[in-house]
A and B are shown apart, each in its own frame.
Chain A
Amino acid sequence: MAKAEIMTVIENTPLTKDTYRLRLKSDQPVQVRCGQFLNLKIPGKALRRPISVTSWKDDEIELTYRVVGEGTRILTQCRDTLDVINECGNGFDLTKFDKEVLLIGGGIGTAPLIACAEEALRQGLQVKVVFGYQNRSQTLFQEFFREKGIHAEYVYDEDGENVVTRIRDLGLEKMDFLACGPVRMMQAVDGIMEGYGQFSLETRMGCGFGACMGCSVRLKDRMARICKEGPVFEKGEIVWQNLL
């Protein structure tokens, strides 16, 4: 259930040249699910910015965002409180997985998969990870996987590799998976994976809670609002060309 609230900024610090960790504190226990997002009001900007949840504990939420334009640049300066709409979207459904899950992420799309890794571990699933970035300076979350004792494969465009080539090299095509990243990466992932999977999509949104229909896309058998029925959809539902 979407919830409007004012949250306190307790950390807003750079992780790499253009990605930041934003930790927010609520005045009540956080009830978010992995794959859901917060829609953040940015001072001086008309529209909110949807940012997916990296992790949460008790009354705190951690987000990871990349500076891509004016709005996220202003966000780097937010130190006090933020007006947020919490618990937006459907989130990933980990109950569909049995024994193991492969997390496939690209760029800032790796952020929501950290919440998935934690949830998967809570459910006793074995977690495998293939994360791709353009170059080493953009690398995120290596420390997280070290702490959890999860072996994570990191691939870089600068080496002429990507998540698809690595998945093939390792023969992981049959695994059930969760994926988030650039549309073309996810489209390529969809093309090689043979098992069950879920993809998290993004687009420009108006409201982020379903009222404006600004983010509706045609899926194979229905129209869906990325902010409300999504952002997570199952493999086989998505018509990739409608997202390009």
Chain B
Amino acid sequence: MAKLTVNLSGMEMKNPVIPASGTFGYGMDYLDFYDANILGSFSIKGTTLDPREGNQIPRICEYDYGMLNSVGLQNPGAHEVAEKIFPQMKQVFDGQVLANVSGFSVEGYAECARILDQEDVVGILELNISCPNVHGGGASFGTDVNTACEVLREVKKVTRKPVYVKCTPQCPDLVKMCIALEENGADGLVLLNTFLGIRLDIRTGKPIMKNVTGGVSGPGIFPQALYKVYQVYPHVHIPIIGCGGISKASDILEMMYAGASAVEIGTLNLTDPMRMPEIIEELNELCDNLGIKDINEIIGRAHR
């Protein structure tokens, strides 16, 4: 049995497998399928300061190798999450989670982070900077280095927990962004959020989703996400969580070879709710077959 335990900025995990934000709710939706305690951790549904109802349906469509979503950050708001949902979550998960902090203004991010910072069950604040900045013409925080770093600095002021920034592939120069985020105090990076995409109805010619565009995820984006991790890794000294289209144990190894210290898995949970226990088992076997004694040894192997 290989050693699969990893440590992300002090957050101990049994293995490097983390269901990604937005695909795992607050942990309760998978109770019918398996015990969440087999997981390294999970990232909670993107949480904003105020409750949000999200976008109109249809919010979902698919392509041959995955799906698109435009849920629009539906969530009950940081106060309700902290007061009502976290106590339930603690009943089903013994470890710590990544609290995905989303927002539409610098102040909104900081206040949301301050509320979630006070919770023991939160091991890492995961800053989702893919959201549009309502005060900045609607452009995503994550596409502009200055606004992304401003959000990060303000969040860092209100928390002592590690802050990992979840970047968007829409960022025109991701390496430059990640270097700047590290300089501005990021404790880690999550690479990446979904790629923007669209599908059209074959009968009407119109967009399928009410919101027109959505985030592309699933196995079809794996090589691109892997490449971004590979590209960024040599330029930063903070841990990277690799995320994007992982569907099997060998994908986890590739992500870690490219430079990831752990991985987030999203769409796979939705299409195959039983896959996490299987994939952790498969990861163990694969490491044994490849003679990997400690999974931490393989981080960044592609660059050595």
Contact = CB atoms under 8 A, between A and B. Distances in A.
Interface residues of A, number: 32
A212 B65 contact: no
B270 interface: yes
Interface stretch (A24-32, A38-46, A153-161): A38-46
Interface of B: 22-25, 29-30, 32-33, 45, 53-54, 56-67, 69, 71, 74, 208, 218-219, 267, 269-274
B56 A215 contact: no
Contacts of A213: 22, 25, 45, 54, 59, 71, 74
A211 B65 contact: no
A85 interface: yes
A214 interface: yes
Contact of B60 (A211, A212, A228): A212
Contacts of A41: 271-272
B278 to A, nearest CB: 11
A185 interface: no
Given A46-B64, A46-B66, A47-B271, A210 B57 contact: no
What are the 7 tightest A-B residue pairs by CB atom distance, in nearest-first order?
Answer: A214-B60, A207-B270, A211-B29, A2-B32, A47-B62, A210-B29, A204-B58
Nearest to A4: B274
B33 A2 contact: yes
Contacts of A228: 29
Given A45-B64, A204-B61, A207-B269, 19 more contacts: A1-B32, A4-B273, A46-B66, A47-B62, A47-B270, A48-B271, A203-B58, A204-B208, A206-B67, A206-B69, A209-B32, A211-B273, A212-B22, A213-B59, A214-B71, A216-B53, A216-B59, A223-B74, A242-B57
B57 A217 contact: yes
Contacts of B69: 206, 212, 214
A166 interface: no
Contacts, number: 102
24 contacts: A2-B33, A2-B273, A44-B64, A46-B63, A46-B67, A46-B271, A203-B57, A204-B59, A204-B60, A206-B59, A206-B67, A207-B271, A209-B29, A210-B25, A212-B22, A212-B23, A213-B22, A213-B54, A214-B69, A215-B59, A216-B57, A216-B74, A223-B54, A223-B74
A218 interface: yes
Given A46-B267, A210-B25, A211-B23, A4 B59 contact: no
Contacts of A242: 56-57
Nearest to B218: A46
Contacts of B71: 212-214, 216
A192 interface: no
B29 A45 contact: no
A244 B29 CA distance: 27
A3 interface: yes
Interface string A196-236: 00000001111101111111111000010010100000000
Contacts of A67: none
A187 B25 CA distance: 31
B100 to A, nearest CB: 13
Interface in A74-102: 83, 85
A202 to B, nearest CB: 10
A45 B271 CA distance: 10
Nearest to A226: B57
A216 B54 contact: yes
A120 to B, nearest CB: 28
Nearest to A201: B57
B32 A211 contact: no
A83 B278 CA distance: 15
Contacts of B57: 203-204, 214-217, 226, 242-243
A129 B177 CA distance: 63
Nearest to A216: B74
A212 B29 CA distance: 9
Contacts of A206: 59-60, 67, 69, 270
A183 to B, nearest CB: 11
Contact of A46 (B22, B62, B274): B62
A215 B45 CA distance: 15
Contacts of B23: 207, 211-212
Contacts of A83: 272
B157 to A, nearest CB: 31
